[in-house]
Structure 1
Amino acid sequence: MHSDPAVWHGPDNGHGTAGHRAGGQTTFTLLGPLEVLKDGTDYAPTAPKVLQLLAMLLLRPGKLVQIDSIVEELWADDPPRSVRTTMQTYVYQLRKCIEQNELAPAGDELLITKHAGYVFTVDPAQIDVFTFQRLFQEGRELLDRDHYTDAARSLRAALALWTGPPMANVNCGSVLSSYVVDLQEQRRTAQHLRIHAELEAGWHRELIGELRALVAANPLDEGMHGQLMRVLSRSGRRSDALATYRNLRAVLNEELGVEPCEELQRLHHELLSAGETPR
């Protein structure tokens, strides 16, 4: 079977070990296009199946990625008759390109074959997904301890790692698509918590413009509407906060035939009462 050639971006420096030994550490991005970065150059493969395989390996660094899982991702319910041989060809191409671009002294040291699958022996700290999750968790813990400014800083750092939709240049099958959905939910939660931390830190006026844009882009997101209502109220704009609720209620009624959630209804009642600033 003819396979796609594994092409890695970036020049061959032609100096043997200079790139790997003298250059910086290789890092991998998944929060946006999949990139393999060394000294500012992207060496990610362009062959679609090799890129898919690399994404699968990067999401489980240092852990076994089962052959069955790779087959499901790459071919779903229609694998070729020579599926094992074809998959081994992609693994060979990935190893060869690791060596050619001096990302490791030897491809089989970085990508190890096991009986039931493959292990990609990179440090999770080299992969942006795991840096994001570490900073995200750190921010949550700081928020739980009411350290709002520090929590906001950690959550902003986590969100700054995103450059677009996860694995934007990868043709995701069923396995990777489920990872993409999960990562997008993690990003949404981190954004919500970051805004909450900044709100509690007293930066409500600075948040109004951003939240108006987020609400416009997510007209059915009740959590974002609630945050906008709070920052408007704390900025002395109670009438605008009430208008935000009315607009959301109209959209929910028209689109889904439902009322705003109980939390937002309580917030609305608080705003309607004698000018109490809702907490």
Structure 2
Amino acid sequence: MFISARKIETVLAILLIRAGQVVALDQLITEIWGEDPPRRAAAGIHVYISQLRKFLNRPGPSGSVIVTRPPGYVLHMRDDEIDVDAFMRLMNKGRMHARERRHQEAAACFENALAMWRGPAVGDLRDGCTIMGFVTWLEEARLECIEILMNSYLELGHHRELVGRLYSLTREYPLYEAFYRHLMLALYRSERQAEALGVYQSARRVLNNELGLEPCRALRDLQRAILTATDDFGTDIRETPINLLPRG
């Protein structure tokens, strides 16, 4: 039987995504071949599992990390062996520091979490509901990590250093409004009010052209605050913590 490296990678990816949980044979078949699997699909999965066991087996009495358990298989990994778990631990630790206004520690956690990324999640594997759902969730977590990191840096007064990075983020994620908000505030605090207002107009143009929408309330409120040079609390917004500004 022909062994497809890509199909083996897909089986491994699904087992990793569901590490510690039983993945049914039928689910693996559907993920790889969709609703029209070949006649010997189950035999193919058995071959792929066999190949993975040879690749993943640990020396010693622990044996195979892939265990057959009806109706399918379960992958057993240690807590420190899956990078997604390490990423989420750093994220959660960073969130905790940010809530306690320990922004230096929060930024360090978020930077370390982002440094773990080496490219797109699970490479170029994008077939099947399980993998696509996981990729969507993880990409959202990464965007949240970047967003809170920018918050922490703004709280620490690093607005001038952030401008270039935020411009890049708005180009990479043109529909993610939080990055426009961060960029506007960083520019205003860097005494670049005209550029900050220009960013708002750019965001408005993109959102209108792509989605037929106006900017969210947070962006509109920030534009108004920059135009009036005060926020809703009556103080100069260059001195206002980012989390005090209204959010949509």
Hey, what's the Cα distance between the residues in 2 that align with 1:115 and 1:84? 14
Compared with structure 1, are the counterparts of its residues 104 and 56 closer, same or farther at alpha carbon in structure 2 (3 Å cutoff)? farther
Contact 1:222 1:261 in 2 (8 A): yes
- The residue type paired with residue 57 of structure 1 is L
Tell me by how many angstroms 1:169 deviates. Answer: 4.2
The separation in 2 between residues aligned to 1:84 and 1:163, in whole angstroms, is: 33
- Identify the residue that residue 210 of structure 2 maps to in structure 1: 255
Equivalent residues in 2 for 1:177-216, closer than 5 Å: 177-216=132-171
2:3 is aligned to: 4
**Any conservation in 1 of the 2:56–2:64 contact (CA below 8 Å)?**
no
For 2:213 and 2:124, how far apart are their aligned partners in 1? 38
- Identify the match of residue 73 of structure 1 among 1, 7, 31: 31
Q: Percent same amino acid among aligned pairs?
A: 35
Q: C-alpha distance in 2, partners of 1:105/1:190?
A: 39
Letter in 1 for 2:3: D
The gaps in structure 1 that reach 5 residues or longer are 6-46
Amino acid at match of 1:226: R
Q: Find out whether 1:264 has 2:222 as its counterpart.
A: no
- Quote the RMSD (CA, aligned, Å): 1.9
What letter matches 2:160 in structure 1?
R
Q: Which amino acid aligns with 1:175?
A: T
Alpha-carbon offset, residue 97 of structure 1: 2.7
Which region of structure 1 is more displaced relative to structure 2, 250-259 or 151-160?
250-259
Preserved CA contact (<8 Å) 2:15 2:75 = yes
One-letter code aligned to 1:162: W
Residue in structure 2 matched with residue 43 of structure 1 by the alignment: none
Give me the whole-angstrom Cα distance separating, in 2, the residues matched to 1:195 and 1:210.
Answer: 9
How far did residue 124 of structure 1 move?
A: 3.0
1:168-207 C-alpha deviation (Å, 9 max, x unpaired): 1435322211111111111111111111111111111110
Bigger share in helix: 2
Distance between the aligned counterparts of 1:68 and 1:110, measured in 2? 20
For residue 172 of structure 1, the aligned residue among 108, 124, 127 is 127
Which residue is 1:277 aligned to? 237
Which consecutive segments of 4 or more residues in structure 1 shift more than 6 A?
Answer: none
Whichever residue aligns with residue 180 of structure 1, its letter is V
Is the CA contact 2:169–2:179 (under 8 Å) kept in the aligned structure 1? Answer: yes
Q: Tell me by how many angstroms 1:162 deviates.
A: 0.4
Paired with 1:268 and 1:122, the residues of 2 have a C-alpha distance of 49
5 Å matches for 1:61-210? Answer: 61-99=19-57, 103-105=58-60, 109-170=64-125, 172-210=127-165
Alpha-carbon contact 2:229-2:237 (below 8 Å) kept: no
Distance in 1 (CA, whole Å) between partners of 2:221 and 2:205 is 17
Shift of 1:164: 0.7
Opposite residue 93 of structure 2, the aligned amino acid is E
Alignment partner of 1:49 is 2:12: no
What amino acid is aligned across from residue 74 of structure 1 in structure 2? Answer: I
Secondary structure of the corresponding residue to residue 148 of structure 2: helix
- 1:85-130 Cα offsets, whole Å, 9 max, x none, are 221111111112334xxx4447953111112121111113211111
Q: How many residues align?
A: 234
CA contact (8 A) 2:24 2:70 kept: no
Q: Is the 1:225–1:245 Cα contact (8 Å) retained in structure 2?
A: yes
Q: C-alpha displacement at 1:219, in angstroms?
A: 2.6
